[in-house]
Structure 1
Amino acid sequence: MAKWIDISQPLTNDMAHFPGDTPFSYSLTYSKEENGTANIGQMTASLHNGTHIDAPFHYDSDGKTVDQLDLERYVGNAMVVDVSHVDHITPEVFQGINLADTKRVLLRTALPNNPKRFPKTMPAIDPEIAPYLQEKGVLLLGVDMPSVDAPDSKELATHHALYKHDINILENLMLDEIDAGMYELIALPLAIQGADGSPVRAVIRPLKDVNNHG
């Protein structure tokens, strides 16, 4: 059986974060040398550091929080789609791709995976992909970028379009070394009560018709 592949960003003290947001920090609160028993660590972080999911509450004060989400959406077969040949991702890029029975789509864009550098520019995702993907039965969209909208967006048009069309959001995946094709995905959020988002450990396992690099 194929091995699981980690497609999540490692959480490190020097990783990039949204400008103005809380950076990730891990440190030891107590060391085994100090207390004689165990090393005990602590962390501070934005819920949107690294690989994470957005709950609707992130962009809608009446939306569901992380603990209210349907976990089934974050586990199951997923299609990695290579859109690295375009800078503007529209429904047209899916022409010729059979999304039948595909509830989860992961986009491999032209943005290089570099967890330690926040991108100045990113490929644009057209809000019009939301009704297109909903029509195909997609319930989760994952991207290898910090956001489905531009970092300086105030309207968050693509977030809202996906929300309107009942599609959950998974961001900051690591897909540079992943071939297009079908995989099994696990990307479960933490059960953080009342939260607007959550870090996830996203892993995929290729199905038999996919050959993955490395």
Structure 2
Amino acid sequence: MTESKWIDISQPLTNDMAHFPGDTPFDYSLTYSIEQTGSVNVGQMTGSLHTGTHIDAPFHYDSKGKTIEELDINLAIGKAKVIDVSDAEKITAETFQGYDFKGISRVLLHTSLPNNPNRFPDKMPDLDPGVAPLLKEKGVKLIGVDMPSVDAPDSKDLATHHALYDNGIFILENLMLDHVVPGDYELVAVPLAITGADASPVRAVLRSLS
């Protein structure tokens, strides 16, 4: 039997990629070239930790919350269910009726938002805070979305961030799921151990369990 291949569901980090309005854009450049050093190219990068595919730490929306290096990396490794909710402009607890979450503690939502890393969306599907208690009841510990945020870009109260946090559910954002068939997978999306940070970029990958 041939082993399933890993599927990359991360946004490539490029200098022309979209970023959250008002935030620091991503930039990669060479600090030194081989011509300068005589031996190696050395690069540098700058940009918001919320650019591209990333995991939020609770510190992002709670000054007393854990920072990214304090999170259990096992949250981002293990069985995940990809669910197609692309027919819903408002994703509610009812959206998840009929799904079997047995043995699954990570849920990835393929929404109606097209995967386009070079354009920040004018409008995104609404993820209702009411999904959090239901997902907690189902044993979910991490939710991933193919949107820049689980809340609207102009939200100040971040109701869905806080509802998920209050129910022990961590947040993975800016996934690329247009090319992924709904079903059960093994997920790896480990954050960097950036001391004191509110988020971290990840290289998120899936491998089919079917």
Same-fold call, TM cutoff 0.5: yes
Matches of 2:193 and 2:101 in 1, distance apart? 30
1:8-61 CA-to-partner distances (Å, cap 9, x unmatched) read 000000000000000000000000011101000000010000000000000000
Q: Which residue of 2 aligns with 1:22?
A: 24
Residue matched to 2:85: 83
Matched position secondary structure for 1:138: coil
Distance 1:35 1:139 in 2: 47
In 2: Cα distance, 1:178 partner to 1:139 partner: 21
Corresponding residue SS for 1:127: coil
Q: Which residue, 134, 137, 142 being the options, matches 1:135?
A: 137
Alpha-carbon offset, residue 102 of structure 1: 1.1
State the Cα distance separating 1:99 from its structure 2 match: 1.3
Separation in 1 of the partners of 2:101 and 2:185?
13
Deviations along 1:85-117, one digit per CA (max 9) or x if unpaired, are 100000101111111221000000000000000
The separation in 2 between residues aligned to 1:93 and 1:85, in whole angstroms, is 10
Partner of 2:82: helix, strand, or coil? strand
Distance in 1 between residues matched to 2:65 and 2:119, nearest whole Å: 31
The whole-number CA distance in structure 2 between the counterparts of 1:88 and 1:53 is: 22
Counterpart CA distance in 1 for 2:103 and 2:126 is 26
2:179 alignment partner AA:
E
Q: Secondary structure at the match of 2:13?
A: coil
Q: 1:73 is matched with which residue: 75, 96, 115? A: 75
**SS of equivalent to 1:204:** strand
CA distance in 1, matches of 2:102, 2:162: 24
| Structure 1 letter corresponding to 2:57 | A
1:36 — aligned with what? 38
CA displacement at 1:194 relative to structure 2: 0.3
- CA root-mean-square deviation: 0.5
| Alignment check: 8 A CA contact 2:79 2:103 kept | no
Partner of 2:150: 148
2:140 pairs with 1:114:
no
Gap regions ≥5 residues in structure 1 = 209-214
Q: Tell me the percent identity.
A: 68
User: Which of 47, 52, 55 is 1:53 aligned to?
Assistant: 55
Structure 1 partner of 2:5: 3
Judge conservation of contact 2:142–2:171 (CA < 8 Å) in 1. yes
Gaps of 5+ in 2: none
- C-alpha separation between the residues in 1 aligned to 2:200 and 2:47? 10
Contact preservation (8 Å) 2:136, 2:168 = yes
Residue 185 of structure 1 aligns with which residue?
A: 187
Task: Map residues 93-108 of structure 1 onto 2, 5 A cutoff.
Answer: 93-108=95-110
Question: 2 CA distance for matches of 1:151 and 1:113?
Answer: 17
For residues 190 and 130 of structure 2, the distance between their equivalents in structure 1, rounded to whole angstroms, comes to 27
Give the partner amino acid of 1:40.
V
For residues 147-193 of structure 1, the C-alpha deviation after alignment (integer angstroms, 9 at most, x for no partner) is 00001100000000000000000000000011110000000000000
